[in-house]
Amino acid sequence: MTKVWSRIISSPAAAGAAAVTFLLIVAAVVCEVHGIVCVSKGTLPVWERIYTAPYAPPGAGTLLGTDYQGRSVLWRALAGTVVAFKVGAVAGAISVFIGTTLGVCAGFFKGKTDDVTVWLYSTFASMPTLLFILSFALLAGTSPALRSALEKTGALLHIAPGALAVYLAIGITGWVGLCRVIRAETMKLRNAAYVSAARIAGVNSLVIIWRHILPNVRHLTIIYFTLNFGAAVMLEVLAGYLGLGGGGNIPGWGSMIAAGQERLWRGVWWELGSAGALMFLLILALNLLGDSLRDALDPRYG
């Protein structure tokens, strides 16, 4: 791991991406803690407080201006990092877990397991992602059992049930690419000499997968988690733009872009611009980090 970080730091682009990602993580942690403290005290967080007149342009008093209620656009854009990192972490973890599990099982056991997995990822690959997210969010709202589970889980993660449904839907649809790569890599690894020796020695298949297969595909899971993180953020912004989910008392970049779009004709560009700029920085940084991790971890690129 030390070699990986030294290689990342040696690249100016990768080092800059890591610095931007770290700063945004710090902003997300600070906003999340501040929001939890404000809820416990019954006070308004800084991004909900009214500072000055509506639509105030960027200036000394409000660095990035205010929205239609006079709230600070800067604080609301920074608060959006909480939503971005939550959806990236939740959806990325789900997609990596599903993709790795199905890919390893399909590549190692082959036969009917492989046939079922290929059918599954072919089906999900042909499914319109946005329509699936919409359907899943509506199902969560109409199913009492599912909504209850989302409310309990969301209370632990400080995520609104509607937003959590969107995060889960994004994760469920984001595993296809990783599954294909893991499946192909596992098919090669299962024929390796050390795997054949373990099989001849009578080692259980699950033990072989745990000791020999998973460690050799770990770099792929790390790379795809980084890339899926950025893709999940973009999908959540699109869902928020369309009015799906909702981050509870924390504004999302999608809702800010939707609100700012309606006021562009009046020259009020700072709400849309701030949310779009932070989203661009985060996704660009994650893509650069993903490329650097691929170069550092994947032996084919080393």
Torsion of CA 34, 40, 42, 45, to 10 degrees: 10
Lowest-pLDDT choice from 35-49, 60-74, 237-251: 237-251
d(CA 187, CA 195): 11
d(CA 118, CA 40): 48
* Cα 187 from chain centroid (whole Å): 28
Bridge partner list, 71: 50
Could you tell me the residue ranges of all domains in the chain?
2-51+62-297
Pick the more confident residue, 264 or 170.
170
Question: Which CATH architecture group holds 2-51+62-297?
Answer: Orthogonal Bundle (1.10)
Mean pLDDT of 50-77: 86
Quote the percentage of the chain above a pLDDT of 70.
95
pLDDT in tens, 103-155: 999 999 989 999 999 999 999 988 888 888 888 888 877 778 888 888 888 88
User: If we measure between CA atoms, which residue out of 262, 178, 186 comes closest to residue 227?
Assistant: 178
> What is the reported pLDDT for 298?
60
Mean pLDDT of 246-271: 83
Bridge partner list, 66: 72
**For residue 299, pLDDT beyond 60:** no
pLDDT in tens, 10-44: 778 888 998 999 999 999 999 999 988 998 888 99
**For residue 246, pLDDT beyond 70:** no
d(CA 239, CA 163): 10
pTM of the predicted structure, to 2 decimals: 0.88
Tokens for 60, please give them: 């000394």
> What is the reported pLDDT for 245?
66
What single DSSP character describes residue 194?
H
Q: How far is CA 241 from CA 66, 154, 251, 265, 283, in A?
A: 19, 21, 11, 18, 17
Q: Sign of the C-alpha dihedral, residues 18, 13, 179, 240? A: positive
pLDDT in tens, 142-187: 778 888 888 888 888 888 888 888 899 999 998 999 999 999 999 9
Contact 165, 136 (CB under 8 A): yes
Tokens for 26, please give them: 């710090």
> How high is the mean pLDDT of the chain?
87
Tokens for 238, please give them: 């699109």
- Phi-psi region at 267: left, alpha or beta (left = phi > 0; alpha = psi -120 to 50): left
